[in-house]
Amino acid sequence: MRSAGAVLTAAGSGSRLGAAVPKALVELAGTTLVAHAAARLAGSGRVRHLVVTGPGDQLTEVRAAVRAVCAIPVEVVPGGPTRQASVAAGLAALDASNEIVLVHDAARPLASTALIAQLIDTVASGHDAVVPALPVTDTIKEVDDADPPRAVRTIARERLRAVQTPQAFRASLLRTAHRDAALLAADEHTAVSDDAGLVERLGHEVRVIEGESRALKITTRHDLAIAALFLEEES
């Protein structure tokens, strides 16, 4: 039960990056973000089947980018109108024999192979769901709806965590969680953006392990520059 399948979401527009291509096809040190993420999933030695959900009009490009770096079986399918819908589409295409499923985002291309292996091992050891996360270092305040907002209270940050991907699950539980929330998936206002959140809706425990600074989410050009620095440190 230590090998797994993975769903890699790569259907984001990349508009905040100011790119002329979807975010997954933006390059970081000469390699697309989706290829970086896929290569690390495959390079972990634990993922035996990968499904990538990409923009409907760029599937050929995404397929070529991923297959160039992966020696494992790869399928590329159209993403949905929301991330939740995209993950559901990926799950539907994933080999049902996989007992563990990783859900990852191409927008976090530098999550390490060591982290991927640790997530799979944690599920294999008996935990149904596990996510990587980092402690929150900023002071966090709850605000009201005024314009401009007013601080209502300061939230104790000791118990707060910023959650990352990949996230790992017992496959049967994740499939059940997506079926249970299927009616929420079509609209951004109702869709759940975090797969662990879907599992929490069912009342299941989600374990948290230490995440990685290098697994940052790339949203802006500034994030892309920071990711490039992490890559330089690896070389």
3-state SS, one letter per residue, for the chain: CCCEEEEEECCCCCHHHCCCCCHHHCEECCEEHHHHHHHHHHHCCCEEEEEEEECCCCHHHHHHHHHCCCCCCEEEEECCCCHHHHHHHHHHHCCCCCCEEEEEECCCCCCCHHHHHHHHHHHHCCCCEEEEEEECCCCEEEECCCCCCCEEEEECHHHCEEECCCEEEEHHHHHHHHHHCHHHCCCCCCCCCCHHHHHHHCCCCCEEEECCHHHCCCCCHHHHHHHHHHHHHHC
Q: Using the predicted structure, report yes or no on whether residue 186 has a pLDDT greater than 60.
A: yes
What does pLDDT average to over the chain? Answer: 95
The predicted-structure confidence for 59-100, as pLDDT tens digits, reads as follows: 999 999 999 999 999 999 999 999 999 999 999 999 999 999
Query: For position 88, what pLDDT does the model report?
Result: 98
Percent of the chain predicted with pLDDT > 70: 99
Kindly indicate the confidence band of residue 166, based on its pLDDT and cuts at 50, 70 and 90. Answer: very high
The predicted-structure confidence for 29-66, as pLDDT tens digits, reads as follows: 999 999 999 999 999 999 999 999 999 999 999 999 99
Q: Using the predicted structure, report yes or no on whether residue 18 has a pLDDT greater than 80.
A: no
pTM of the model: 0.95
The predicted-structure confidence for 133-154, as pLDDT tens digits, reads as follows: 999 999 999 999 999 999 999 9
Query: For position 2, what pLDDT does the model report?
Result: 63
Kindly indicate the confidence band of residue 205, based on its pLDDT and cuts at 50, 70 and 90. Answer: very high
Query: For position 12, what pLDDT does the model report?
Result: 79
Domains for the chain: give ranges and CATH numbers: 4-234 (3.90.550.10)
